[in-house]
């Protein structure tokens, strides 16, 4: 299975940079599309059921949108998959009989211990499935849910008990009760397929705890060889980040078919506004991530390493979308590189080729962008270099994260950059926690990332000057994104160096150390001004990043 999806969370606009339509997905080599927009349609497949005129019109518009995609998928010959969340029910249905659906004294929380609630959730999902009878099946997300952001739906996290009725069941039983209801209705009664998304961020849950995943797998309905139930995991333990190991829970479910989710537009890495080449990471794992400690599997993980260990059903490629904010790209060219590469990478992997991603960057630049040989080689070299550049810019290596946050469960590196927000306050806390012998390494890594962006830009500018007018025109927006990247990464370098210098000044105060820290932080502010007020307006660039605490950090040495 090679599924493509434009991740469009409930109450969120369409992914920036335009969607990949079903016809284009088929041209790229995908054999199915996953439609996220059906999640808000729970209870509204018949829009006359809407409680007010505004909701009715909104539902009619969304139904037309999904109808168009369904028709396009059928014409293109790709399978159609429809997303639903559970537990989730229309608010008016819950309000009419809270005693049948909700936790005790919690009329806003659906209770997984109530059989009527499970039956109603299954019925709402089946309505979605039957609204588009050509659909291959449902993609069911339990636990993590965003439906409460919609005024017409009530949802809850099945892992979290909220009353004395559902708490004794335990998280595994609560999940299984929901899955069994959907399996009976979708697989057994209707002969369709059910994809169970394991995603839910947090310790002790199916996606991140192999023991919980194994316990749930042991209680699933049906049998793995039936092919009716497929388990879907993000390929990382936790969210899509390079400082996360390969997902160990996916290796603990026995012979149940496993689908790996791949994000082409990384929300912690500039969301496509910055080149971030991912196929080598998908195929071979990330050597910079914490090692995967599973017997018989290479420490880095990767699709090639786990192919023989799991019953690999395929991949679900997030060809657009993910995250909750900017940067918003004006040209999805770098995202497209990753989305384009997934089908040929998987074809090579299943043939047993030793380097499934080798040569794909140059093939994309030549075939997809139509660049000449020299220009395509320059773009491919930039993409290949971007893997380490992004890691150096946005992350701290595992050794740098040796000190844990207060909760102790995740490295302190986790969220200093999220979507388009650079949180200088969090970065300062991280730097204050680093061992002294790692401080200079951290600064050097940020400097190398900025230098790599400069080399990329110069390489593409040289290729544009040496090639024809057509190549120069195609390379111009890519060069713009690298100018944008340079100023951002120079800011990261000066900011990290300035915060390190500030820490050392506070440990050993002096006029010289205060002046060094002040100059570096002022340089970071200057870089930031270039990024936000000048470079983000270049051709092809995304919207600028935003900051929290940058100017306060630069002013923090004013009295020292």
Q: Where in the chain is the domain with CATH 3.20.20.80?
A: 2-369
Torsion sign across C-alpha atoms 51, 54, 57, 61: negative
Order the strands of the 546-548 sheet from edge to edge.
417-418, 421-423, 546-548
- In tens digits, the chain (560 residues) has pLDDT values of 999 999 976 656 666 568 999 999 999 999 999 999 999 999 999 999 999 999 999 999 999 999 999 999 999 999 999 999 999 999 999 999 999 999 988 888 999 999 999 999 999 999 999 999 999 999 999 977 788 888 999 998 898 888 999 999 999 999 999 999 999 999 999 999 999 999 987 778 999 899 999 999 999 999 999 999 999 999 999 899 988 899 999 999 999 999 999 999 998 999 999 999 999 999 999 877 888 888 777 788 899 999 989 999 999 999 998 888 889 998 999 999 999 999 999 999 999 999 999 999 999 999 999 999 999 999 999 999 999 999 999 998 644 444 333 333 344 445 799 899 999 999 999 999 999 989 999 999 999 999 999 999 999 999 999 989 999 999 999 999 999 999 999 999 999 999 999 999 999 999 999 999 999 999 999 999 999 998 888 888 999 999 999 999 999 876 55
| pLDDT score for 12 | 62
Q: Report, in this order, helix, strand and coil percent for the chain, each rounded to 5.
A: 50, 15, 35
Q: State the DSSP H helix or E strand holding residue 134, giving kind and residue range, or none if neither.
A: none
**Cα–Cα distance measured from residue 393 to residue 490, given in angstroms and rounded to the nearest whole number:** 9
Residue with tokens 């012998």: 437
Residue with tokens 């306050």: 425
Q: Are 227 and 257 in contact (CB under 8 A)?
A: yes
Residue with tokens 């229309």: 90
Using DSSP's 3-state secondary structure scheme, residue 108 falls into: strand
**Cα–Cα distance measured from residue 202 to residue 238, given in angstroms and rounded to the nearest whole number:** 8
**Cα–Cα distance measured from residue 334 to residue 272, given in angstroms and rounded to the nearest whole number:** 6
**Cα–Cα distance measured from residue 204 to residue 202, given in angstroms and rounded to the nearest whole number:** 7
Q: How many helices (H) and strands (E) does the chain have?
A: 17, 15
Token pair in block for residue 283: 């195929």
DSSP H helical ranges for 328-468? 333-350, 360-367, 373-394, 424-433, 436-466
Query: Residue 346's beta-bridge partner residues?
Result: none
pTM (2 decimals)? 0.94
**Cα–Cα distance measured from residue 377 to residue 374, given in angstroms and rounded to the nearest whole number:** 5
Which tens digits make up the pLDDT trace of 323-342?
A: 888 899 989 999 999 999 99
How remote is the C-alpha of 266 from its chain's centroid?
6
| pLDDT score for 402 | 40
**Cα–Cα distance measured from residue 269 to residue 393, given in angstroms and rounded to the nearest whole number:** 9
Which tens digits make up the pLDDT trace of 144-184?
A: 778 888 899 999 889 888 899 999 999 999 999 999 999 99
Specify the pairing of strand 257-263 against strand 229-234. parallel
**Cα–Cα distance measured from residue 362 to residue 397, given in angstroms and rounded to the nearest whole number:** 28
* Ramachandran angles phi, psi of 109, nearest 5°: -125, 125
Please state which of the four CATH numbers 3.40.190.10, 3.20.20.80, 3.40.50.300, 2.60.120.1130 is assigned to the domain occupying 2-369. Answer: 3.20.20.80
* Ramachandran angles phi, psi of 197, nearest 5°: -80, 125
* Beta strand spans in 202-341 (E): 229-234, 257-263, 311-321
């Amino acid at each position: 299975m090679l599924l493509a999806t434009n991740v469009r969370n409930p109450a969120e606009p369409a992914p920036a940079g335009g969607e990949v339509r079903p016809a284009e997905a088929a041209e790229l080599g995908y054999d199915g599309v996953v439609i996220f927009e059906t999640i808000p349609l729970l209870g509204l497949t018949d829009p006359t059921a809407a409680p007010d005129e505004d909701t009715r019109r909104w539902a009619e518009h969304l139904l037309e949108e999904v109808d168009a995609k369904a028709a396009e998928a059928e014409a293109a010959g790709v399978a159609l998959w429809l997303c639903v969340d559970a537990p989730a029910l229309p608010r008016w249905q819950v309000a009419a009989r809270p005693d049948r659906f909700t936790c005790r004294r919690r009329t806003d929380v659906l209770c997984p211990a109530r059989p009527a609630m499970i039956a109603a959730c299954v019925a709402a999902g089946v309505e979605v499935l039957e609204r588009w009878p050509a659909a291959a099946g449902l993609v069911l997300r339990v636990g993590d849910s965003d439906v409460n952001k919609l005024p017409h739906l009530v949802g809850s996290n099945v892992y979290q008990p909220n009353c004395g009725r559902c708490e004794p069941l335990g998280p595994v039983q609560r999940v299984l009760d929901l899955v069994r209801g959907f399996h009976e209705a979708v697989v057994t009664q209707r002969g369709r397929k059910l994809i169970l998304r394991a995603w839910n961020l947090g310790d002790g849950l199916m996606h991140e705890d192999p023991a919980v995943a194994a316990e749930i797998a042991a209680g699933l309905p049906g049998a793995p060889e039936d092919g009716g139930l497929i388990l879907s995991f993000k390929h990382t333990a936790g969210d899509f980040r390079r400082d996360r190991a390969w997902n160990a829970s996916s290796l603990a479910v026995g012979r149940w078919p496993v689908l790996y989710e791949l994000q082409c537009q990384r929300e912690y890495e500039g969301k496509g506004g910055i080149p971030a080449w991912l196929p080598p990471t998908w195929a071979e794992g990330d050597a910079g991530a914490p090692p995967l400690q599973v017997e018989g599997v290479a420490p880095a993980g990767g699709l090639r390493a786990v192919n023989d260990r799991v019953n690999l059903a395929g991949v679900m490629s997030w060809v657009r979308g993910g995250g909750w904010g900017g940067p918003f790209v004006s040209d999805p060219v770098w995202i497209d590189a990753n989305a384009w590469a997934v089908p040929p990478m998987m074809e090579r992997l299943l043939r047993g080729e030793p380097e499934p991603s080798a040569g794909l960057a140059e093939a994309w630049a030549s075939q997809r962008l139509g660049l000449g040989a020299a220009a395509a080689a320059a773009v491919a070299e930039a993409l290949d270099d971007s893997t380490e550049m992004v890691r150096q810019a946005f992350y701290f290596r595992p050794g740098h994260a040796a000190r844990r946050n207060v909760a102790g469960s995740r490295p302190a590196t986790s969220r200093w950059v999220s979507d388009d927000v650079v949180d200088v306050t969090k970065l300062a806390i991280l730097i204050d926690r680093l061992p002294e012998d790692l401080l200079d390494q951290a600064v050097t890594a940020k400097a190398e990332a900025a230098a790599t962006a400069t080399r990329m830009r110069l390489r593409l500018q040289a290729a544009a000057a040496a090639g024809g007018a057509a190549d120069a025109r195609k390379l111009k927006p890519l060069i713009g994104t690298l100018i944008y990247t340079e100023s951002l990464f120079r800011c990261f370098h000066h900011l990290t160096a300035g915060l390190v210098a500030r820490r050392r000044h506070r440990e050993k105060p002096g006029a010289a150390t205060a002046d060094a820290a002040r100059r570096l932080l002022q340089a970071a502010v200057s870089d930031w001004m270039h990024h936000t007020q000048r470079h983000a307006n270049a051709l092809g660039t995304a919207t600028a990043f935003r900051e929290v605490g940058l100017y306060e950090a630069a002013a923090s040495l004013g009295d020292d």
